[in-house]
A and B are shown apart, each in its own frame.
Chain A
Amino acid sequence: MICLSRLAKIFGQRVAVDDLTLHVRAGEIFGLLGHNGAGKSTAIGMMLGQVWPTQGEVHICGHDVTRRRSLALRKVGAIFETPAFYDYLSGWRNLEILSHYSAPTPAKRIREVMEWVGLAGREQSKVRTYSHGMRARLALAQALLPQPELLILDEPGDGLDPEGIHEMRQTIRRLHGELGLTIFLSSHLLNEVEQLCTRIAVMNQGRKVFEGSLAEVKQPKNWVRLRVNDFHQAVKSLREENLIVDERDGQFVALATEAGTDVVVRRLVEQGMAVYEIARHEQTLEDFYLGLMRNDSHR
């Protein structure tokens, strides 16, 4: 559905996106993670033909965005972090204006979408009277009008209160479940991505530093939390026996593939070390993300 190959964008001296290759399959909810300024919005700008790539290619729905933008974006809806509308016009008129840039849209379709997003009854009110949440729903409505197959959401939770974020999350699930849309979501809110996405990519300083499924993120290694009287001594001993492959934060060890917790405990006890606790640890996305950022900054 989305295929970025060796994409790069340089603004003056600053490399905003560097050699980004990414594939998003139809039917996925794909999350693009990264801190502010990591290059997520620039990458989305290139996907939508708003930012010209310095190098590389973007294909959306099988069409090259740079050369055949109109074809590529025919079945695409997009929402940006701060949805902007013509505040002095009604919600209905805004939808009419924006949808006509794609194709003539019958009033029936606008009414249908207004109802779907829960704005029925407020369609004739001026947008300036809308709350932040209602504007977010109007943004969703405009994205849904051309009956898209792909929805691109740039920081959709930005500026929403917890209730708004919850509502937005539910809506994204509905869009995926009821309408079968492919969803590409960029965010720096780890919780949001963790709860919604099936696959993710992480960007740091314009570069992709990870791409994979959420399952891979959560259990990349066989981590256990180990509480002993001397953690460093225990790590040293377990490494010599090839029972662990990694350690972190003074309390976690990653077991070697064939090593079980029973073997580790036995070995430590045999060496006279008291083991107070050993428990499997599922890595959160936050642990994974922070680890990635740390490793990347050490490069």
Chain B
Amino acid sequence: MFYLQLRNELWKLFAKKRTYIGFLMFLLAQNVIILLFRFTNGPRVSMIRTLEGNGYLAQQFISALTVATFMLLPIAYLLLPLYVSLVGGDLVAKEAEDGTLRMILSRPVSRLRLLLLKWLAGAFFSLALVLALGLFGVVFASFWFPWKGLFVFIPGELFSVFDAAGGLQHYVAAHLMMATKAVTVMGLAFMFSCFNVKPAAATILALSFVFANFIMQNIPYFHDLQHWFLTYHLNIWQYMFAQPIPWWKIGESLSILLGFNLTFLVIGLTVFQVRDIKS
């Protein structure tokens, strides 16, 4: 029964055209970045200079994996929160706005069960989005760049090089970790969606929360306080490219993200449980 209901939630989600706006924009952004990297000199020259300045043979690392990872940063920081919060904000509020929530709640299904189903569908979407992002990124990059080693450089954060096989492992691991970011932002928008608000308001509230955290985290004077901001923990995926991987730091952030997710879910459930559903 639970499986059937979850399957139906996924049907509802994946049959909607607006669900794919995120996928399409990602694909577009990825291809634009790849083509700019391939056909302009600026980014490539800068990367070659960084690699050779550190004593590496640049030609070994200008690869599909490197380009796929290079374009991951702006997409993960900006586009990913936007699209998962768009879907998370829709999950409850759109149904309330359209009137289908009232149709559902005339049935003997509990509000708790309904919300858990919707949250799981949202989490599934977030995971699918991140995996598609990783897969398509590397596939598109392979059309224009060779399959060689991976080079990752985040100024002030990390500088790593891997052979092709090791690079792929780190690339996959980073995406799996990025799914926690997608699920958390989706969960935040989902929480706002449980309030009596329009879907767009839920999305905007979630994005505002994420971007406000990001801005504060990046104010130099707040550097010592950065562990207190959600976005600091959302971006642990990038440490999957570190050598060695700081597992203790990742474990700590994952625990904090779990706490955030549970808090968002409990607040959402409580608000939804006590509110009146009216036309």
Residues of A within 8 A of B (CB): 11, 41-42, 45, 48-52, 69-74, 76-78, 80-86, 88-89, 93, 96-98, 100-104, 142, 146, 152
Contact = CB atoms under 8 A, between A and B. Distances in A.
B276 A45 contact: yes
Given A42-B278, A45-B277, A48-B106, A100 B98 contact: no
Interface-centre pick from A77, A97, A98, A104 (highest chain B CB count, 10 A): A97
Interface residues of B, number: 27
A76 B4 CA distance: 21
Contacts of B4: 100, 104
Given A86-B12, A88-B16, A98 B104 contact: yes
Nearest to A146: B107
Nearest to A98: B103
B102 A80 contact: yes
B263 to A, nearest CB: 24
Given A41-B278, A102-B107, A104-B4, A50 B12 contact: no
Nearest to B110: A70
Contacts of A89: 11-12, 15
30 contacts: A45-B276, A51-B277, A69-B108, A69-B110, A70-B108, A73-B106, A76-B108, A77-B106, A80-B99, A80-B279, A82-B279, A84-B98, A84-B103, A85-B100, A85-B103, A86-B100, A88-B15, A88-B17, A89-B15, A96-B8, A97-B8, A98-B103, A98-B104, A100-B1, A101-B104, A101-B107, A101-B108, A102-B108, A103-B1, A104-B1
B255 interface: no
Contacts of B103: 80, 83-85, 98, 142
Given A45-B278, A50-B277, A97-B11, A84 B108 contact: no
7 closest residue pairs by CB, A with B: A84-B99, A78-B106, A101-B107, A73-B108, A70-B108, A101-B109, A50-B277
A74 B108 contact: yes
Instruction: Tell me if A's interface is mostly helix, strand, loop or mixed.
Output: loop
Given A85-B100, A89-B15, A104-B1, A76 B276 contact: no
Interface string B3-24: 0110010011001110000000
A103 B4 CA distance: 10
A101 B103 CA distance: 10
A50 B279 CA distance: 10
A97 B16 CA distance: 15
Interface string B70-107: 00000000000000000000000000001110111111
A77 B103 CA distance: 10
B204 to A, nearest CB: 24
